Structure 1
């Protein structure tokens, strides 16, 4: 599943995030790149583990956890630590695959899904498109500030060179309760169907009760808490 989720951040939330981003300290993105990625990465990243960065990370995680579409699509078990990336002056992140496992304080996190939360107005910079390579085709993304692109970590992806302005984005990873992509998509379809039917049927109708039962039972079958 590869989707764009609009308005993860409200305008006020985005403004607040930018005020905190202006106070962050930046280091070479090579510090967080794997052996292969170091050869194709030219950007800067900010550590969000302490100080103003920790406050920003908490704000972003709260926005992610409070978004119903993201919760339905990703079925998150755990989120990784977050990074803010800054790309400018010809910077880029060439084609690469994200690490399958990431170190966390409580152990390893399996990267089922990756996400990029765009934080810059797309008209304020040239280049900087996120490109995801699916088998047989590619998709290119450069959405509005506050929008998030969610995509499977298993696919090759890249960020094209930024030739004007500055591209700011938050990147992170999700370990899902439902490891299998096809099963996550089935649940997502059913959850969307339930939301649509809720405008047509009473909450206690046989139709919605049956749909609720089906979603719950599939979660019991497939979830790996």
Structure 2
């Protein structure tokens, strides 16, 4: 399931992130790509250890966790610290698939990347090109969303960032380990959660709502990996 989310970041949060990133250090983005993906990655990325980048990443993570639709659709267990990328004229990120396991050390296990997330930070009118292109069985789909909007999609997908032809594409990217690793199961749970909320808004705590709530809870018990 590919899900577009409007205004994950409000104007105030975007302004704060822009100010923080203006003070951050940007380096060659290929440094954080996997051994094969770095061959097709041409962008600049904020150094994750820079204090300004860490504060900006915390703002994006909090905004995602605060968003009810994101929580319902993605069922986040862990969210990787977001990375911030800039693409200027002539820069792109060729076709690749994200690493299945990310990070981890002696104290914490690696994060399994179930869902990839891109949060757009630049107004689409300020640059040309730079579409996020995701491959699925129906073909390619291209996305260039508004500033503050986000897209969440299965990290199992081949995807790329088209070449920027003018201006600067600015995004935050992160990955989520979901409580439910199977994308089809997550979609069923999201549909059920959406339906039960719509029934509750229309009827209150009715018999229909109770049955939908029961089915959602019991499927979550069956499929979740706490």
* Structure 2: stretches of 5+ with no match in the other structure: none
Work out whether residues 80 and 104 of structure 1, in 8 Å CA contact, stay in contact via their aligned partners in 2.
no
Q: CA deviation at 1:81?
A: 2.1
Q: Distance in 2 between matches of 1:51 and 1:12?
A: 20
Q: Is the deviation greater in 76-85 or in 97-106?
A: 97-106
Runs of 4+ displaced beyond 6 Å? none
Which residue pairs with 1:20 in the alignment?
20
Q: CA deviation at 1:101?
A: 0.8
How does 1:172-183 map onto structure 2 within 5 Å?
Answer: 172-183=174-185
Q: What is the RMSD computed on CA atoms of the aligned residues?
A: 1.1
Which residue pairs with 2:87 in the alignment?
87
Q: Distance in 2 between matches of 1:130 and 1:110?
A: 22
How does 1:59-138 map onto structure 2 within 5 Å?
Answer: 59-105=59-105, 106-138=108-140
Q: Is the deviation greater in 50-59 or in 108-117?
A: 50-59
Which residue pairs with 2:218 in the alignment?
217
* Structure 1: stretches of 5+ with no match in the other structure: none
Q: Distance in 2 between matches of 1:194 and 1:45?
A: 41
Q: TM-score, normalised by structure 1?
A: 0.96
Q: Distance in 2 between matches of 1:20 and 1:96?
A: 29
How many equivalent residue pairs? 224
Work out whether residues 118 and 168 of structure 1, in 8 Å CA contact, stay in contact via their aligned partners in 2.
yes
Q: Please list the CA deviations of residues 27-74 of structure 1 after superposition, one character each: whole Å capped at 9, or x if unmatched.
A: 000100111111111000013344122211111111000001111111
